[in-house]
Chain A
Amino acid sequence: MTNVIVPAAKRGRGEHANSELRRVALRPVLETPRWWWPSVATLSVVVVLGVVAWVYQVVNGLGTAGYNDGAFWAIYEANLVTFIGVSYGGAVVSAILRLTHASWRAPLTRIAEATALVSLPIGMVFIIPHLGNPSKIWELVWPTYWNLSSPILWDFFAVSTYLLATIVFFYLPLIPDAAIALERFDDVTPSVRVKVRRSLYRVLAGRYGDTPYERRRLNGAIGVVAIMIIPMAVSVHSVLSFAFASSSRAGYMETILPVYFVVAALYSGVALVVLTIAASRKLFHLEAFISPRHFVRLGFLMIAFGAAYLYLTFTEYLIDGYSGTAGASAWVYQIVAGRYAIPFWIYFFAGGVVPIVIMMFRRFRTTSGVVIASIFVVFALWIKRLVIVVPPATEPLVNSPLAKGGVLAGNWGTYHFTWVPISITVAATAAIPLLLLVVFRFVPILSISEMEELAESEVTTGTQEVGA
């Protein structure tokens, strides 16, 4: 078998071969840091405990997760929305910033895309504990069972399509980097670890030789996917909201819900990307390429979505609460002043006020400030998803709340957290860093070719610096 990769020198990019960028980006692949195995082991234990909890739930029924007929949807549905939502960070940071030619994105794209790649399947996995009878899940992929008028089936199609697009969007920019890594590993003493990676990169790089023609075609393909993934991302969360909104239940039946879901996903997605970028920067020593300015810019992007989300929340609750109808008003009053007031106001301060205040003042607007704001946002938006999912599901539909003692009365159902869904949720949360650690053992953590390309064009055109 002939090696189809053209030597670096012939491509006229040989000056990069041993650059600082390549050294830093490929170091996590070559060297195992001392903390890597202990971290992976700890996170794996947490994930295994979640699987154990799920098995317990399968054996003993969904009731062990705190569900009952008065609260038929709760934490798993909220988690499904949350984890699929945070995968939006990849689409927004990578695709939107790519299309708007924001060149500062270059060091962030790989981490953002990898975050999307790992969090989306984790979100999809929540379909399984959500189902009462998971042994029959194959009916969802078996066309003779499909009932195409069901919003759940639309969800399933939309999320599956988006997963495919996310994989492609992760893979395409990886092709030239795999070629670079393959070439870099030429002069490394071959061990098992190196051989495994070499064969992986050979598969990933295909016959890519980084000729100008190939580079042009690849960039064209990435551009097409970047354009396609944005309407796809919008459609995923819109369709996800249809499962709730296409019903006659007050609180779910909201025309604002699709927009609301999309904006929440963008908001929490950017927040999670901030967290993964901050962690990667620290752990893999990327300070030379990812500067505090990156965090501030991402922070601004984040609170733009945060402010839009706050506005949508206000609009929704004001209009429904003002209507004075038995369903909608009772639901809003329960949220702002009744049994769901505590989680709602936690969201309001942690997900609305605090991030905006942090980003408003220059003295808080530091790397750690943005990271703290992002932690608040990710947590608050999970709470907010619970506030979206649980109250309408606990709403009494037969005994109108207004009939007995006003909007705060009525025989509302109750959802209680139990250890089962909590351990599954913690396991899913741990799975994100776990999978990222594994991914970055095999894949260059920075988008090498993209950064080199931008650096070259900056040299020739004198535009903004990548690391600025």
Chain B
Amino acid sequence: MRKQYEKEALVRHPKASPDESVAAVTISRRGLLRAAALGGIGVGVLGVMTESLAAASQPATTTPTGPIKQWCMVIDLRLCNGCKLCTTACQTAHYLHEDQTWMNVYTMQNAAGEDYFMPRPCMMCEDPACVPVCPVGANFRTPEGLTLVDQSKCIGTRICMNACPYDARYFNWSEAIPAPRQPFKQEPEWPVPQVKGTVGKCIECAAMLPSGQLPECATNCPMGVIYFGDLTSDVAVDGMGNTIKISTYLADNDAVVFKEEYGTHPRVYYIPGHGQDLNNNSSAS
């Protein structure tokens, strides 16, 4: 069963296989840089570095029993009407300022010059550009494939905002909105309230996922645009209660990822359908 899924997923998204992307070392430009840095540095420093890299890639998260979930999102652009209820739901849940649009709905134009809407959460890249650039290792990727920020470590250099090709990171330029007592501990999985002077971003409501809840944006979308699911079980659901088999849904609807040419391998898949200019030269593999 797993093998069958992986085969299908690999056809369209060569890097979507959860086991490979988490466990195996793939050579990317950042991997290359890292390797070059490793080669040039003495053994003593090497120990420190591997330690910090290991710390960065394996945070203390609660791993659910059974196979590790690999969270992903499928956004059906055909259905989005640009109401931005996802944005407001996200900002309400995380006590964000108005301009901190972790889930941002962009008004785009298709090739015919007509407007369409594109919700943009964090892409939860398999090869994130933001993680290796942080000088203190405040960014990390969980075993479930979520890229998170440890705001207790972040010193606020903002170089991750420079690195992210999706403008998905938002700084806390002033004091955060005070939040009442939260159901979760204040940790990278639920950074509420935000910490002044650090970077925040979409967490796909990481703390809510183990209990089977959908992220706020998916729950509150009245159009059923946002599917949230798990690549290992190959199932995603939207806020309307629709369930899809991810691999077939992506294949049947010609799913694409945003800015594929950047090599970040996002785990947010878009279903186009407005005659969009996909802005890449690759024929979507």
Contact = CB atoms under 8 A, between A and B. Distances in A.
Interface of A: 60-64, 67-69, 72-73, 130-134, 136-137, 139-140, 143-153, 156, 243-244, 246-249, 252, 326, 393, 396-400, 403-404
Contacts of B193: none
Contacts of B34: 149
B158 A61 contact: no
A247 B133 CA distance: 9
Interface stretch (B1-9, B148-156, B227-235): B148-156
A56 B30 CA distance: 38
B253 interface: no
A2 B108 CA distance: 82
A146 B41 CA distance: 13
Contacts of B165: 248-249, 397
A147 B129 contact: no
A421 B152 CA distance: 26
Interface stretch (B72-80, B84-92, B171-179, B213-221): B171-179
Nearest to A139: B136
Contacts of A252: 162
Given A145-B153, A152-B133, A393-B162, A61 B198 contact: no
Q: Which of B33, B109, B133, B173 has the most CB of A within 10 A?
A: B173
Chain B, interface size category, equals 35 or more
Contact of A396 (B100, B136, B167): B167
Contacts of B164: 397
B175 A136 contact: no
Interface of B: 30, 33-34, 37, 41, 45, 48-49, 51-53, 56, 99-100, 104, 106-109, 118, 120, 129, 132-137, 153-159, 161-167, 170-175, 195-199, 262, 277, 279
Nearest to B41: A148
14 contacts: A131-B155, A133-B154, A133-B195, A133-B196, A139-B153, A144-B51, A147-B56, A147-B132, A147-B134, A152-B133, A326-B279, A397-B165, A399-B108, A403-B109
Contacts of B134: 147, 150, 152
Contact of A149 (B30, B106, B166, B199): B30
Contact of A67 (B45, B49, B171): B171
B14 to A, nearest CB: 20
Contact of A132 (B137, B162, B197): B197
A144 B51 CA distance: 8
Contact of B37 (A60, A130, A149, A247): A149
A337 B166 CA distance: 26
* 4 nearest A-B residue pairs (beta carbon): A132-B156, A63-B173, A132-B197, A133-B197
Contacts of A69: 99-100, 161, 167, 170-171, 173
B157 A131 contact: yes
Contact of A249 (B41, B56, B162, B172): B162
A326 B197 CA distance: 32
A137 B279 contact: no
Contacts of A149: 30, 33-34, 37, 53, 132-133
B159 A62 contact: no
Q: Which of A61, A133, A149 has the most CB of B within 10 A?
A: A149
Contacts of B196: 61, 132-133
A186 B158 CA distance: 56
Contacts of B33: 149, 246
Q: Which of A60, A152, A248 has the most CB of B within 10 A?
A: A248
Contacts of A134: 155-156, 197
A150 B159 contact: yes
Given A68-B173, A143-B48, A156-B135, A398 B156 contact: no
Contacts of A61: 172-175, 196-197
Contacts of A146: 48-49, 52, 135-137
Given A247-B163, A252-B162, A399-B108, A148 B171 contact: no
Given A61-B174, A139-B136, A153-B135, A398 B120 contact: yes
A139 B152 CA distance: 11
B220 to A, nearest CB: 22
A73 B155 contact: no
A397 B166 contact: yes
A131 B162 contact: no
B45 A137 contact: no
Nearest to B132: A149
A61 B132 CA distance: 26
Contacts of B197: 61-62, 131-134
Contacts of A326: 279
A147 B150 CA distance: 14
Nearest to B277: A403
Contacts of A249: 162, 165
A73 B170 CA distance: 13
